[in-house]
Structure 1
Amino acid sequence: MALRGTNQEFGRPYNRRIVLEFVRLHSLTTRSEIAARVGLTVQTVSTIVRELEEQNYLVSVREEPKGRGLPPSMLKINPEGGFAIGVNVTPISVEAGLVDLSGEVIGSLSRDIAGASPEDAFEIIGAMAPELIAQRPKGRMLGIGLALPGPFGVESMSFVGPTTMAGWENTAIRERLAEATGLPAFLETDMAAAALGEHLYGLGKRFSEYYFLYLGVGLGGALVREGQVQRGASGNAGEIGHIPVVPDGEACPCGNRGCLERYFSLDALRRSGLGDADWLEAVAPTFRNAIATIENLFDPETIVLGGLAPANLLERIVELTAVLPNSVAARRDRKTPRVRIAEGGEHSVLRGAAALAVSSVLSPRFGQMFTGGRERDVLSGGEVAA
C-alpha cells in the first residue's frame, strides 16, 4: 500500500498519519523527502511536522557539519511519545509488555498458567497493566492489544482443544479487556499479531511480500503483502495447522484427522515425549512438505519462521530447510534463503499486539492493515464473534 497524502483540507488528519507512518518506516528522513514521496507540498509537511513535534510524536536531530553549511535536520519517531501494552494469552501462560513508539519493550511480565479461564486471565492482566504503566507513569498511554490463538468465530474450531483457549467461547473479550485495564482495547489472533510485529520491527521491512509461519502451542501463518497482513474474508486465513497432511492420521480437536499441527507444533513436541533432535528427525518430511505447500500457494519472497519456540529450536528447524522439495520458490535467481528466522525476537507477539493500539492513533493504514471482514469490524469498534 503506497503512502499518499491529499492536499484537500478535509484530509488534514489523514495527512498527519501519513507523515507519522512515513517517518516510522523511513527514519531518519527529511521534510523534503517526505513531501516528495507522499505527494504533499513541503509547506504542508513542515506545518504537520511542527505540530507533531509540539505533541512529542516526532523529534528532529542534526548531524555534525562535514563542510560548509548545516546539514538538514532529520526526523524520527520519538520513542517516548506514546506507549501501549501488548498482551499474549496462550494455553500455557499470560504475558504482557509495555512498548514504546519505536517498538522497544520497556518492560514485560509473565505468568505461567495452564488453560487460563477468562476470569483468571483478565484478573492477571488487570494486575499487570498498572505495574507496567508505572514504568512510565507520566507517559501517554494509547491502549492495549490482546493476542489469542485463533481462529475466531468458527464453532467447530474456535476455543476447542489444547492449542486454543478452551472455555472462552461467548466471552466479550475486547470489552472485558477494556474493563480490566481502563484502556482502549484491541484484539487479534496471535499469528497475525506476530506477523505485524515482524513487519514493523523485524525482517518485514526488507520484503514486500513474505509468509510468516508462526510456531506456537499450535501452528499458523499469515501472508504479509506491502505491509498488510492478508487475513481472508472472515479474518481467519492462515490456519495452516488445520490442513490435513496425514490420511487417517491423529484425531484433531477440530474434527478432522491428520492435521499438520498435530505433528508440527510445540504441543506436538510436548506430546511426542521425544527430545528436540529426535522429534525434528521424525517431523522433518512433514515440515518440508508444508514449506513447499506454502511456497506453491503464495509464492512469497521468503518464509519467516517465528513464534513462541526458543531461538535454538528455530535455528535447528531452519537447518532442515537445507534440503527442500521442489516448488515455485526453487529459482536460480533467488536472493534470499527460502526460510529465515524472524528477527522480532521473543516479544514479537507483544509488539504486534501493542501495535494495534499504536496504529489506532498513528497509522493511516488502521482498518486497512488487515484485510478481512472480521478485522474491519474489530478495528472499527465492533465485537468479535467468539
Structure 2
Amino acid sequence: MSDLAIGIDIGGTKVAGGVLDQQGAIVARARRDTPHRSKSPGVVEDTIVGVIEDLLVQVRREEVLAVGVGAAGWVSADRATVLFAPHLSWRNEPLRERLSTRVPVPVYVDNDANAAGWAEHRFGAGRGETHLMMITLGTGIGGALVMDGQVQRGRYGVAGEYGHMMVVPGGHRCECGNRGCWEQYASGNALVREARSLLLANSPVAHDLLERLGGEDQALTGPVITEAAQDGDQTCVELIADIGRWLGTGLANLAAALDPGSFVIGGGVSAAGDLLLGPARETFARELTGRGYRPMARILQASLGNEAGLIGAADLARSEVLATP
C-alpha cells in the first residue's frame, strides 16, 4: 500500500478515525471517546491526536501522506480554522496549526458535510456525477456542492448551509435565530417534534408508537419512528412522508438555483429509504421550475453511511498533498 491518508470524524462524544487507501477502502480504524463529554478545544484536540497515533502504529508511517479532519461547523476557505462549531467550544479555532505541531504529516480541516459529499462523489452513490449536491439530514440539514471535481466552499468557506434557507416566512423558530428555516421542516428534529406533538396530545393515531416506547414519550427518537414506519405503522409512514415532501420542496428550490445532475441524500433520516425519498421525488417533480421542459436531477440515497465523513476527509487531504508541486 502507498499514498494512504487518515480521516478523522469528530462527533459529540467521540472521535473516530480510519486509514484510507487509494480505492477508498478503510484499511485501519481507531476510535476514542471524548473524556467526560468535554467540549473544550484542548480535550478534543488531545483526543484527535490520540486517534491519529493509534492509526499510525497500524500502518507504515512513511506511507501516510496526510490527515483530513471533518468538523461539524464552519471552516475557513483555506481549510485551517474552525470559525464556529455549534456543538463544540470552537470559535476561530486554529485547528490545523495546533494539530500540525503534534502530527508528523500535513493536516487539513474541512466541514463534515463537504467531506461526506466528496466521499459520495468519489466512491459512493454520486460516483461519476459532474454536478452533485449532498444533503445530510440529521438533527439539522447540512450539505455540500461538488462541481467538476471540486468542492465549492464559497468565498469564506461557509457554503452549503442549505438547512437555513427560509421556506416558511414566520414559521417555526430555528436555533440559528431565524424563522421558517428548511431544517425546521425536513430534518430529524422536525420528524421527532411532529411525532411528539401527537404523543403529548394523546392522539389515538399515536397509540401504537407510544406502546412501542413502553409508554415513555421521552424515549422517542428518529430511528424509533423510522423503525416503526418500516414495520408498517401508518402514522409513522405519514410523518416520514411529510418530511419527504418538505425535502422535495427544498430540493426544487436548490435545483432552480444551481441545476445539479444528482442530489445524494445522507444522514440518519435517510435510513428511511423510499419512505422518505418517494414523496421527495414526487414533490420535486411537481414543484421544479420549468418542469416538463428541462432534464430532472436524480435523487439518490447515500451509500457510504456513517463512514462517509472520514472517507471524504482523508481523500480530500490526500488530493491536496498530491496536487501540491
| TM-score, length of structure 2 as denominator length | 0.75
Partner residue of 1:290 out of 250, 258, 268: 250
Aligned counterparts, 1:32-111, within 5 A: 80-111=1-32
For the pair 1:233 / 2:152, whether they are aligned, the reply is: no
Task: For 1:144, give the aligned amino acid.
Answer: V
Distance 1:112 1:352, change over 3 A: same
For the pair 1:132 / 2:93, whether they are aligned, the reply is: no
Aligned counterparts, 1:3-14, within 5 A: none
Aligned counterparts, 1:334-349, within 5 A: 338-349=298-309
Partner residue of 2:93 out of 171, 174, 177: 171
For the pair 1:357 / 2:317, whether they are aligned, the reply is: yes
Deviations 1:254-287 (A, max 9, x none): 2212222233334444555462343414423322
In the TM superposition, residue 245 of structure 1 has moved relative to its aligned partner by 2.1
The residue that corresponds to 1:16 in the other structure is none
Deviations 1:278-337 (A, max 9, x none): 341442332221121111111111211124x27633453223234123314844885x86
Aligned counterparts, 1:1-386, within 5 A: 80-111=1-32, 116-137=39-60, 139-152=62-75, 159=84, 164-269=86-191, 273=220, 275-276=225-226, 277=229, 278=236, 279-307=239-267, 309=268, 312-324=271-283, 325-328=286-289, 330-331=291-292, 338-363=298-323
3-state secondary structure, aligned to 1:355: helix
Equivalents in 2 of 1:138, 1:91: separation in Å? 28
Structure showing greater radius of gyration is 1
Identity %: 32
Deviations 1:26-75 (A, max 9, x none): xxxxxxxxxxxxxxxxxxxxxxxxxxxxxxxxxxxxxxxxxxxxxxxxxx
Structure 2 unmatched ranges of 5 or more: 77-81, 197-219, 230-235
Equivalents in 1 of 2:169, 2:38: separation in Å? 30
Q: CA RMSD in A?
A: 3.0
3-state secondary structure, aligned to 1:297: helix
Q: Do the aligned residues in 2 keep the contact of 1:90 with 1:217 (CA within 8 Å)?
A: no
In the TM superposition, residue 214 of structure 1 has moved relative to its aligned partner by 2.1
Task: For 2:252, give the aligned amino acid.
Answer: A
Q: Do the aligned residues in 2 keep the contact of 1:123 with 1:180 (CA within 8 Å)?
A: no
Task: For 1:83, give the aligned amino acid.
Answer: L
Q: Do the aligned residues in 2 keep the contact of 1:195 with 1:352 (CA within 8 Å)?
A: yes
Equivalents in 2 of 1:333, 1:258: separation in Å? 29
Distance 1:341 1:171, change over 3 A: same
Structure 1 unmatched ranges of 5 or more: 1-79, 367-386
Equivalents in 2 of 1:108, 1:330: separation in Å? 46
The more displaced of 183-192 and 211-220 is 211-220
Q: Do the aligned residues in 1 keep the contact of 2:138 with 2:269 (CA within 8 Å)?
A: no
Distance 1:176 1:211, change over 3 A: same
Q: Do the aligned residues in 2 keep the contact of 1:299 with 1:329 (CA within 8 Å)?
A: no
Q: Do the aligned residues in 2 keep the contact of 1:108 with 1:132 (CA within 8 Å)?
A: yes
3-state secondary structure, aligned to 2:93: coil
Equivalents in 1 of 2:280, 2:188: separation in Å? 19
Equivalents in 2 of 1:333, 1:295: separation in Å? 11
Q: Which has the higher contact order (CA 8 A, sep 6+)?
A: 2
The more displaced of 219-228 and 131-140 is 131-140
Q: Do the aligned residues in 2 keep the contact of 1:305 with 1:341 (CA within 8 Å)?
A: yes
Deviations 1:7-39 (A, max 9, x none): xxxxxxxxxxxxxxxxxxxxxxxxxxxxxxxxx
How many residues of Structure 1 are paired with residues of Structure 2 in the alignment? 279
In the TM superposition, residue 86 of structure 1 has moved relative to its aligned partner by 0.6
